[in-house]
Structure 1
């Protein structure tokens, strides 16, 4: 049976308008997060997550779930979900919510053979995602939430200390859509904090069982998309505080080397990387994956810190003036890479999910899209957070003919 195409339902800041979001995802969880919390920082029970993931997979009988590509790094991958509440900051989009609450998926190098399957997203998150992207398509939220991941809940951590990479998804996209990249980085020896910026995605399930819908997807808030990017910068600084401060919220925080922190983001999440680096010097290196720079890089640059502009063909020189201006403002190590045959979703899980749904794109293949993103983002952080030389970033490579090094 042919499965319907998922498309963007409306024009939203941080996404390229007029483009198809060829998305389609299977799902794996209906019972997750029926927990309550009265603390400012809590970890969602691993036993509950594992039970929910297994129950959802057992219910999938009509068809097989999608499978994210296996990570290529030497480590197994563990995952923990944190609920963090900033008691000193009112939510910028829903004042009645009082304090700003964030859900964060922590990925980390783990010992093989430990823990249980980690869910992709909750079933209600999947329902809202499908409602926004494919209204009336008749796609089962249970299938979408059942996407096969490689992370394990409750996995025992690997020994050692690792750089921290923060990931920020595009506007309206749940954090789950960057799961493939998060798993790859963790397998390569990074701790990854993948943030859901509450009220900025189609749905974020919190520990009391509610799923909070998007409050700014229909139209930009006061201050426009730049206000969203700057709000995300505040989110990221708060998360870094809670992961590396004197009383960390994460029980495995000793795995993090606070002197080696990087950040990558998709769409407006990429814009947020630059906004975060402008405000927080702890972030030493950043990657913008196909995001318009609504919050301009300061004229003084980012204090000579390295930055990768990694975009689809519509972000080639001359297509987006904000990229040209950002390039001129950057005063440290920098690269501007364009991926031939790509679109806005290339840098996320969307190509894999779309192909699973029977609606692959016409450009770079889903497997190749995933490989390119993982290869270049991983190389960037290996160079700048681990000081491992990366000839791949010195210029064009015959092994990667889709990549153009721009020099406007």
Structure 2
């Protein structure tokens, strides 16, 4: 039986998450749209004591050719570094999406996630709670890597990453260009524009999924290499969760990992090595009742049969993208009449963000505090 977790439970923070009743839904039914242009979408403020600073890294792996566009000739990555910073209002809040990235997302977002509205949203207007350019606080602190889901960019994991940083971690959110909805680069290069859109507009076939996984694991390991990192944590959503679990198996520099609803097999049903052989380092498997299916159960149970430091948790009355910024954004779109109730449920479930956001935050914080410190 899979333990479930709900927000506001002290047992969750302590890591002893018990089964609980499904939480009640929240929000306003579709059709109650206000008049005029909807206000900018808002991300939840972080809950920790630290101001968070943000800076961006452009990394180039000249030993690899981009698997999605060989004309580029190298493998490029964009990484956002979020870390505790000196307080000060003179540093502006970093946008979730720049105007150029938002223009691409306006096109590609609804193709990747059909419930999203094709019009009526200013995606460039949403601000994170990180301060661009704010100087980091001195001192050493544990580092976490984040890998987003297939089709999503690192920007859609901003709120949970900022919250972790506000509690004392350094968080690196990593884009995987080619399967991310859009990635903006600081320079031009043959084979791509300044903003590179996804090449994947439908469910991947078996070969594509394997390329995604192998590329993502190599991307994460390259970040560790180029930044000289040791003993880090990693968390990821969907395909990103699959990638961090497999990276845990392949690279002992990753001391603990959280897989947020990523399968642990290939599309032909073959278990990944991490599931086939098990792990001797902590691995969290967190899912939702809305997304749970036979394939997920089978691949996770393959790993769980080995025993070891593996824990499974489930969030009830929720769905797959509740582990991303969509947990907060989709209910606002529904409230504004820009999404149907069915579309909201299909993305994040019926539970209100006041329920799901604290629950996911507490689960991640308690897991990494127990196994990596801060």
What SS does structure 2 have at the residue aligned with 1:149? strand
Aligned to 1:223: 207
Return the alpha-carbon distance in structure 2 between the equivalents of residues 130 and 381 of structure 1: 34
The Cα of 1:366 is off from its aligned counterpart by: 1.6
Match of 1:211 among 192, 195, 200: 195
Mark the CA change 1:137 to 1:337 in structure 2 (over 3 Å): closer, same or farther: closer
Aligned to 1:282: 253
Q: Is the 8 A contact 1:349 1:370 kept in 2?
A: no
- Equivalent residues in 2 for 1:227-242, closer than 5 Å: 227-242=211-226
Higher relative contact order (CA 8 A, sep 6+): 2
Aligned to 2:8: none
What SS does structure 1 have at the residue aligned with 2:64? strand
| TM-score of the aligned structures, taking structure 1 as reference length | 0.71
Aligned to 2:151: 172
The Cα of 1:130 is off from its aligned counterpart by: 2.9
Match of 2:361 among 374, 379, 386: 374
2:79 pairs with 1:104: yes
Q: Is the 8 A contact 1:316 1:338 kept in 2?
A: no
The Cα of 1:342 is off from its aligned counterpart by: 0.7
Q: Is the 8 A contact 1:221 1:227 kept in 2?
A: no
Q: Deviations over 1:65-87 (max 9, x none)?
A: 12211111111100001111101
The Cα of 1:99 is off from its aligned counterpart by: 0.3
Q: Is the 8 A contact 1:79 1:118 kept in 2?
A: yes
Aligned to 1:139: 119
Match of 1:120 among 76, 90, 96: 96
Q: Is the 8 A contact 2:276 2:302 kept in 1?
A: no
Return the alpha-carbon distance in structure 2 between the equivalents of residues 160 and 195 of structure 1: 23
Return the alpha-carbon distance in structure 2 between the equivalents of residues 305 and 337 of structure 1: 17
The Cα of 1:328 is off from its aligned counterpart by: 2.2
Q: Deviations over 1:296-337 (max 9, x none)?
A: 1253322x10000000114658562212213224x4312100
Q: Is the 8 A contact 1:266 1:288 kept in 2?
A: yes
Match of 1:325 among 272, 278, 302: 302
Q: Is the 8 A contact 1:174 1:203 kept in 2?
A: yes
The Cα of 1:221 is off from its aligned counterpart by: 6.5
Once structures 1 and 2 are overlaid, which stretch shifts more, 219-228 or 162-171?
219-228
What SS does structure 2 have at the residue aligned with 1:223? helix
Return the alpha-carbon distance in structure 2 between the equivalents of residues 269 and 121 of structure 1: 20
Return the alpha-carbon distance in structure 2 between the equivalents of residues 159 and 288 of structure 1: 30
Return the alpha-carbon distance in structure 2 between the equivalents of residues 116 and 175 of structure 1: 20
The Cα of 1:370 is off from its aligned counterpart by: 1.2
CA RMSD of aligned residues (A): 2.2
Can you give the 5+ residue segments of structure 2 that lack an aligned partner in the other structure? 1-35, 189-193, 267-271
The Cα of 1:137 is off from its aligned counterpart by: 4.3
Q: Deviations over 1:277-297 (max 9, x none)?
A: 121110000011111123512
What SS does structure 1 have at the residue aligned with 2:62? strand
2:328 pairs with 1:341: no
The Cα of 1:129 is off from its aligned counterpart by: 2.5
- Equivalent residues in 2 for 1:251-266, closer than 5 Å: 258-266=229-237
Return the alpha-carbon distance in structure 2 between the equivalents of residues 227 and 349 of structure 1: 26
What SS does structure 1 have at the residue aligned with 2:366? helix
Return the alpha-carbon distance in structure 1 between the equivalents of residues 319 and 277 of structure 2: 31
Return the alpha-carbon distance in structure 1 between the equivalents of residues 183 and 230 of structure 2: 30
What SS does structure 2 have at the residue aligned with 1:299? helix
What SS does structure 1 have at the residue aligned with 2:276? coil
Aligned to 1:393: none
Aligned to 1:292: 263
| TM-score of the aligned structures, taking structure 2 as reference length | 0.78
2:141 pairs with 1:162: yes
Q: Is the 8 A contact 1:79 1:151 kept in 2?
A: yes
